[in-house]
Structure 1
Amino acid sequence: MTDAPITQDVLTIPRKQPEGGKQNIIGLTRVALRDALIAMGTPEKQAKMRVNQIWQWVYFWGVRDFAEMTNLAKGYREQLDAAFIIQLPEMVSKQVSADGTRKYLVRIAGGHEVEVVYIPETDRGTLCISSQVGCTLTCSFCHTGTQKLVRNLTAGEIVGQIMMARDDLGEWPEHGMGTGDQGPRLLSNVVLMGMGEPLYNFDNVRDAMKIAMDNEGIALSRRRITLSTSGVVPEITKCAEEIGCLMAVSFHATTDEVRDKLVPINKRWNIETLLDTLREYPRLSNSERITFEYVMLKDVNDSDADARRLVRLIQGIPAKINLIPFNEWPGSPYQRSDWERIEKFADIIYKAGYASPIRTPRGEDIMAACGQLKSATERERKSRKQIAAETGTA
């Protein structure tokens, strides 16, 4: 087992600037925005104040036009407009499930696409965002894992998904009002559980979440943000130290033999190594507990013995277990565990002293459920190949 630095043969950030070389403000940290404003000609003594003003307009009010930033002088607004752009990822399409779940197909620089899902509930609204185009992990039960990794998303493309969803929900405060004045937030929680492995794109994810958590902007509490990893061990401690959000782990098996097949990253960092690292995470981040995600696969990982072994493995870790009924997708090699089996599994965990909620499948009718995300163009491309193979025209 090695903790050597993680490298990926992926291009990370598109270099081409939009609109004739203008720099996109979305995704710049406060420090980066300050530097950019100084480079534009803003006096250093004024730069911090200008960052605060622009930050509030962009991330609190959701303004996209410098002309609307009325506490800035007209000449300065024109200067900003000449140097910068405020640009979000493009919403290509939106599907709404019978249960109210919304799935967005989002286009980013280079024409690539990712999927974003909004799940409304009575006490909160959760947005599931993506961190990569595709995924390298090839988890065998996950539809996203059948799409090859194209590239990492930039910080702007990640936080831009949150802003795009707030646009669609009409959730930016009216001028002169605070967010709380308009009632409970429709988008109150963010989970990094969409396309990609967030810890393989650490720097961009960190910067995006810092922007989302900034109290003078979107102002999401770190306890309202959950990062889900398949177990990139060297980055877990960095996540605690540099982001501090809640941690979820795609666990899904109780033996290395089974987890090697379901979550191949286990071959690099096995269950013992992963759990040893997680035992330190709650202390480092001051989080209350780790969430273990466990997809229920019929006759694969759903036995009473698996449930009891799971309890033994996580002993000493403040934890809850999210049991996820498998969401089937075309060509998937697995079946969902029977409901009675899931309930029995949950009961064993609950009696051992751990919360074991069974996640209600959401958005299945629009392929928006956990493990089903895959860009529409990739689905279409695969379909064309299948058709060609079946007709002998490949």
Structure 2
Amino acid sequence: HEFARGLGVPIQTYPLFENALRHRDQHSLQSHLAAMASLMQPFNAVASQNPYASYGEPRSAQELATVTAENRFICLPYPKWMNAMDGVNQGAAVILTSVAKARELDIGEDKWVFLHGCSEANERLLVSERLNYSSSPALGMNTRQALAMAGKTLAEMEYFDIYSCFPSAVAIACEELGLACDDPRGLTVTGGLPFFGGPGNNYSLHGIASMVEKLRRKPSAFGLITANGGYLTKHASGVYSCQPLASEWQLPDSDSIQREVDSLDYPVFTETPQGDATIETYTVCFKRGEPVRSIVIGRLLTTDERFVANTAAEPQLFDDLIKHDWIGRRGQVRQCGELNLFEPV
């Protein structure tokens, strides 16, 4: 049902999270563009110093926030340079081995980096079945478990690589971790997906390879990497350091936190909504700078069931969706052929 209504790739899906954050923070479109640019410009600054970055041209926060013919909207509220760049020619490799094998292969100890803590957890697969669009419990829970396994706190991390496909992924991760978006330690060791790039779903291997280089230069330091697959769906975390482990390595019980994630009180979803409704979040999709489709996630007022719908493809309606915050807007939803149509009142 999500594919039928236009959801199916990251550029259409992450904006739903971003607009939910924008509404919660009571931002206008312009103030939210500025906030996203402030969040992502430090990523660009790191990429501009990284010889492996695919899009390392230095860009100011003002440039990132300004919509132009080149930095055009892809899906509201993301201009081009707020999107992950996954069609890149990059490669990375990591050699995973035991201490005994490393010694057998005569790999110098100055190259050893240890995985001190790790964990993984998944949100519900379908975006339409998420708890909400401004948090990710699985992300927070698995990262806290990884830190606990390492016996470390967030304050003891010297380096971070927070998965950065879109600003909403970074902002939600920071909130789940209790990490300031402007933490002076920085949030990336590569430059992030919009500027460093990330080949397909292999970005985090580049994050690990880059973290290894950082830690080798400062063997006493610890670094945290968060990885994300899907649409804030599949989460994994790792804590790394050149310092040897103080005790025997043992895989954590990620099943326990997965059960906790699964036990949360999720909304009921309907594929055939009918009646009075309100918008929970939405986006407008563009093609070469022109709006062509809207995607609405809403709730029925009578049952609180969640649904996915579209609005009519009318230029005036698109213009209003772009210029104003439509979250909380009331209307009627009904089936229209194979689609659900939301009509504002």
- Tell me whether the two structures share a fold, i.e. TM-score over 0.5: no
Tell me the TM-score normalised to structure 2 length: 0.23
Q: Which one scores higher on RCO, CA 8 angstroms, separation ≥ 6?
A: 2
The structure whose residues are more often helix, as a share, is 1
More strand by share: 2
TM-score normalised by the chain length of structure 1: 0.21
